[in-house]
Structure 1
């Protein structure tokens, strides 16, 4: 008996695709093309989403087929920064719905959005339910960065390290060091945590989030401190997140609605 398979759907013929099990976990990596300061490439979020999807699929105990990465995302908070190419919310929702409709029409039952961009998890949650209601697909949205930090990994406090900071830069040093310009790295958004610390309920993101744009919180496009980043930290994070994502694929493959 052969083990679980990893395929790249676009590289298959239509007959090969039809021969896949309907229970194959179909993975749609999605990221963004947006500014990440002077030291990281515009493709950072899309590159991370694809790399982690591929690594997780290779470690998974279930059949996985990966779709071509949706590199563009909803990046309106970074619009106006050179190189940022953003979909509108409406366009992103429409594209994801069409992907879902096509996956369902191909006879598959599971679709996973693996998201590398922090500006769109809420939209992907919404569209996942839309696709579920329209097509019957079981749809899941996963942001690997939300799978948790390794307990023994010490990460410096870089305040709101949401964008281009220590963690994201370390990940890129592990995945594509040739695209990282550490000589250009500098901290940004310093003082944001102090400002929000004055409030009892209001937060940048959290309990009472503020709908912030990049220019509201940083002068250089960075939220965090990339200067302390290292490939060693990135290697650990890539390994842990790939493993946890592979475990999530396994749980998704065995999950069924209804629950009663």
Structure 2
């Protein structure tokens, strides 16, 4: 059930304690892909899993702005502090839990959100009347995960499958030419770069030409299957907190 499309009476009749909360970002994805890429992909994975799950689950509206200051030099990027982001996510989960949807899987589409989501789901599960975990779709697509990059093959493939009209195909060559081969500038296992503009001319990491629509379909299927397995586990898990020992 899509919360944004349902009436309150519809939701009141919904017999489940499971919820999906998509979380994305509004940030640069090179000259060829839209700023909302991370929100589009996270929402699509959440919707696909909700459709495939054998049971009821509510899908909350996506949170479209995340922890993305690392892209601040690229026009149009929006960001909030990790503290603000964690608070917003936590209070959204609390509001879901107040209606009985107290087992929440956060479906994430942005790498910059990962650390904050790991922390906030721990806080929620330890201190609130809810249980929450975070699922990042591009970490759950098997061997494809190693090609993630940024505005690169995986995200471009997903967009070409989900929303091909949003991809500027005439700019793929430009995107590839200005891309970095990897994320960051590394010495002694330390990333010396704090902002993406330090190591990529146009914001792209990885070659978007390597991501076609067929690959996008495969990625969505893999992410959907992984998320459905997670939902099945969360639905039946004992989420009571252990006593002090």
| Same fold? TM cut 0.5 | yes
RMSD: 2.3
TM-score under structure 1 length normalisation: 0.84
The 4+ residue runs of structure 1 with deviation greater than 4 A are 191-195
Q: CA deviation at 1:194?
A: 10
Alpha-carbon contact 2:3-2:60 (below 8 Å) kept: yes
TM alignment of 1:1-260, pairs within 5 A? 7-21=1-15, 23-149=16-142, 161-185=148-172, 186-187=175-176, 188-190=178-180, 192=182, 196=186, 199=187, 201-204=188-191, 210=192, 212-258=194-240
Extract unaligned runs of 5+ from structure 2: none
How many residues are matched?
A: 239
Closer/same/farther in 2, CA of residues 256 and 221 from structure 1, 3 Å limit: same
Alpha-carbon contact 2:184-2:199 (below 8 Å) kept: no
Alpha-carbon contact 1:28-1:114 (below 8 Å) kept: yes
TM-score under structure 2 length normalisation: 0.89
Deviations 1:152-176 (A, max 9, x none): x7x9x86xx4201111111111111
Closer/same/farther in 2, CA of residues 193 and 164 from structure 1, 3 Å limit: closer
More helix by share: 2
Extract unaligned runs of 5+ from structure 1: 1-6, 205-209
Closer/same/farther in 2, CA of residues 195 and 9 from structure 1, 3 Å limit: closer
Alpha-carbon contact 1:46-1:69 (below 8 Å) kept: yes
Deviations 1:181-222 (A, max 9, x none): 1221222453557963xx4x4144xxxxx5621112111101
Closer/same/farther in 2, CA of residues 191 and 29 from structure 1, 3 Å limit: closer
